[in-house]
């Protein structure tokens, strides 16, 4: 027999670790090739880890809720003799003493402990991804990171703060103390009375619970979403702009072509890809909205990657990303929207599907809302909410005069970060999106 080490696979460029949420196979269970062995969760997506071989699960190296690094061995599977995945073969001629095995396992465990980076998610403070990466590379502990006095907004630790701390820590030299005695007559100071004001501590309002109330603990994803939302509001200065859009031509065009579109492309044509196409065009016109903020620095994004907020069956929210959205035509956009939306609903998204977004769109009209004020998806600086499309009476201007007619209209709600986006840019951007939608060619092909 042979032993195969099942390792945590690479799940994307920016994903370095995952949490084990459930073991689908227990020690002694038979496993087929490509069969799921356990379920894991990153900070955005839940997924399964399949086996690359067939065999028997003989050891689980981590338990439920343990944090595992990419590339670490998480389980041992015993396979058939002669497998190409041979790791440790014991025969009659080769006998490994128990003491050697124990020492080797101890050394490996020590290596993993040293290699495991600090878990900065346990801190109550908000640190940007760049600051966390620098801290990990320089082996700055969570306690050290929390002790740094940040120069950013609300005391946030910036890139300059963490780099200065690392330099000072590296160049710190013990200076011998020299005691100098100087005889100086100093008159006794007058007594000073100092009133110390007690610090104001904000506490959550107490919640009363009676016998008829049900107490339900938040699931893991809801806890993450809760933390992200609070951190975003504390980080960005949210401000909103609203604009009403006449989308009558879009509604008529979709009604006219949706059957032919589905027959030819095998995809349903919704309003979302049409809206996403307009947003991608507007971002090319206003690259100042396609940025992120890190401390006192603005990072201009090269690619336009549109996040698409999607509701999950359990009520939680996830934001898959359409990469290089400005390079897609309407058919490509529709396929991307449908693919990500379907995989979000069925729990088939991969970690990379939720990474790298530069701007986000959320469709609050799906649930009947006329408009909303969405919270920015950090570290982006803007998010657009699409309201419900409604038939409303409107003034229609013609050469023969004005008259009242029934039009299809919707509201666009643009939330943006006032630290770096002023009203002129935030308002001009959403106005450009509206112009693209109202100028939609009803005779265009798909």
222-256 pLDDT, tens digit each: 888 899 899 999 999 999 999 999 999 999 999 99
Q: Any idea which of 125-139, 314-328, 388-402 has the lowest mean pLDDT? A: 125-139
pLDDT higher at 1 or 111: 1
- Angle made by CA atoms 156, 291, 221, in degrees to the nearest 5: 65
Q: CB of 217 within 8 A of CB of 392?
A: no
* pLDDT greater than 50 at residue 206: yes
Residues 6+ apart with CB under 8 A from 281: 326, 432, 436
Q: pLDDT by residue (tens digit) across 117-168?
A: 566 666 767 777 777 878 887 888 887 888 888 887 677 788 888 888 887 7
- What percentage of the chain carries pLDDT values higher than 90? 47
* Residue-level pLDDT at 83: 44
422 forms bridges with which residues in the sheet? none
CA torsion 123-223-66-141 (nearest 10°) is -10
Residues annotated catalytic, as ranges: 418, 422
* Residue-level pLDDT at 39: 86
Per DSSP bridges, beta strands 73-79 and 390-398 are unpaired
Rounded (to 5) percent helix, strand, coil in the chain? 35, 25, 45
Residues 6+ apart with CB under 8 A from 52: 4, 6, 33, 34, 85
* Residue-level pLDDT at 93: 40
Which residue shows structure tokens 């690392």? 166
Q: CB of 359 within 8 A of CB of 433?
A: no
Q: Looking at residue 266, what DSSP letter applies? A: S
Look at the pTM and tell me if it is higher than 0.85: no
| Closest listed residue to residue 357, CA positions, set 311, 310, 315, 427 | 310
Residue 437, helix vs strand vs coil: helix
Distance between CA atoms of 67 and 115, rounded to whole angstroms?
13
């Amino acid at each position: 027999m042979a032993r195969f080490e099942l390792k945590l696979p690479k799940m994307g460029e920016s994903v370095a670790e995952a949490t084990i949420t459930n073991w689908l196979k227990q020690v002694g269970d038979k496993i087929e090739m490509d069969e799921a062995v356990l379920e894991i969760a990153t900070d955005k997506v839940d997924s399964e880890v399949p086996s690359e071989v067939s065999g028997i699960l003989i050891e689980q190296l981590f338990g439920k809720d343990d944090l595992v690094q990419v590339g670490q061995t998480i389980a041992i599977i015993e396979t058939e003799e002669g497998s190409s995945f041979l790791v440790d073969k014991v025969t009659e001629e080769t006998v490994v003493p128990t003491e050697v095995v124990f020492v080797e396992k101890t050394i490996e465990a020590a290596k993993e402990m040293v290699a495991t980076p600090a878990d900065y998610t346990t801190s109550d403070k908000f640190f940007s991804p760049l600051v966390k990466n620098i801290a990990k590379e320089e082996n700055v502990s969570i306690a050290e990171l929390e002790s740094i006095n940040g120069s950013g907004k609300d005391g946030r630790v910036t890139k300059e703060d963490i780099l200065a701390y690392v330099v000072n820590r590296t160049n710190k030299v013990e200076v011998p103390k020299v005691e100098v005695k100087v005889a100086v007559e100093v008159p006794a100071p007058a007594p000073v009375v100092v009133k110390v004001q007690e610090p104001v501590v904000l506490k959550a309002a107490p919640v009363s619970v009676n016998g008829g109330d049900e107490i339900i603990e938040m699931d893991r994803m809801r806890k993450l979403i809760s933390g992200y939302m609070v951190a975003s509001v504390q980080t960005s200065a949210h401000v909103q702009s609203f604009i009403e859009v006449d989308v009558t031509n879009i509604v008529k065009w979709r009604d006219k072509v949706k059957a032919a579109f589905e027959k030819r492309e095998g995809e349903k044509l919704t309003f979302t890809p049409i809206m996403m196409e307009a947003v991608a065009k507007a971002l090319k016109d206003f690259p100042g909205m396609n940025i992120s903020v890190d401390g006192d620095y603005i990072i201009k994004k090269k690619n336009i990657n549109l996040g698409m907020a999607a509701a999950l069956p359990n009520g939680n929210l996830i934001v898959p990303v359409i990469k290089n959205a400005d390079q897609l035509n309407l058919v490509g956009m529709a396929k991307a929207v449908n693919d990500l939306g379907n995989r979000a609903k069925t729990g088939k998204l991969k970690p990379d599907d939720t990474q790298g977004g530069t701007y986000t769109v959320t469709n609050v009209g799906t649930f009947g809302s006329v408009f909303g004020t969405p919270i920015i998806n950090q570290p982006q600086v803007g998010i657009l909410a699409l309201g419900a499309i409604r038939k409303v009476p409107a003034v229609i201007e013609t050469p023969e005069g004005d008259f009242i007619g029934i039009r299809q209209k919707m509201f666009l709600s643009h939330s943006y970060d006032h630290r770096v986006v002023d009203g002129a840019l935030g308002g001009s951007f959403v106005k450009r999106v509206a112009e693209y939608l109202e100028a939609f060619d009803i005779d265009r092909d798909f």
